Amino acid sequence: MMDFGSREKSRRRLMFDLFKVIRSTGGTLIIGGDFFDFWFDYRHVVPKYYTDIICNLWLLSSTGIEIHILAGNHDYWDFGYLSDQTGCVFHADDFMFNLDDQAIIITHGDGLLSWDRGYRLMKKIIRHRWCIALFRFLHADWGCSLAKFVSNTSNRYTHANDEGHRIRSEITQYAKQNWTDHYQVILVGHYHQTGIQDEGNSKLIWLGDWLQQFTVTIYDASGWHQTSWQEQIQNKKQE
């Protein structure tokens, strides 16, 4: 997402068209993490390749749309800028709420898998205040370049590959534990999986992604359902 090629320009045009649909329909927008490929809240610098996104989020918020952004493993390091400039509510951890007698939790989902022990250790380190303070000493150009390199390396592996079945099985077990104890509806990002799993009155919803699948999960009078940006935009044009 940091490379402003033609594919990214097309993706952003599509995303901003979706924002227009949301402005016209009303409601609440919840972004489940990794909205930015890399985000760090520098004191005096805003990465220029995100200014149009910041502007469009503000336009969305200014029309009365409530926006919630969950921290992902790519964009955890916000310390108030996004809320100040876009009017969103930024959640460093899971977002829990009640809606129509449903107890709901949205989690980015990174670190949930039993074999992610190394990642969970790294997560504690890179989110530690001393690590954040040291990163600030890097020039912003260097910091963004380093983050791009790490992001490109990690993107060589996709959670939608042959590990998908194993991932879905383990996260389903996580969901079953939480259905019993706390929540009726659990929404999970991070793993680039899609679909809505039902078990009685409980649901596990995979949020997909906004890079290739362009997934949007909707709750309205007809209940929970999933579609794509393109379908939402096309439906609006046909009204």
Instruction: Provide the domain count of the chain.
Output: 1
What tens digit of pLDDT does each residue of 150-199 get?
A: 665 445 445 545 678 899 999 999 999 988 778 999 999 999 999 999 99
What is the structure's pLDDT at 79?
92
What tens digit of pLDDT does each residue of 105-130 get?
A: 999 999 999 888 888 888 888 888 89
For 219, the domain range is 6-157+164-238
Q: Which residue matches tokens 């926006």?
A: 67
What is the structure's pLDDT at 144?
78
Closest Cα to residue 75, out of 34, 23, 125?
34
Return the half-sphere exposure (C-beta side, CA atoms, 13 A cut-off) of residue 152. Answer: 8
Residue 1 falls within a domain, yes or no?
A: no
What is the structure's pLDDT at 157?
44
Reply yes or no on whether the pLDDT at 55 is more than 90.
Answer: yes
16 versus 131: the higher-pLDDT residue is 16
Residue 210 falls within a domain, yes or no?
A: yes
CATH number at residue 56: 3.60.21.10
13 versus 118: the higher-pLDDT residue is 13
Residue 144 falls within a domain, yes or no?
A: yes
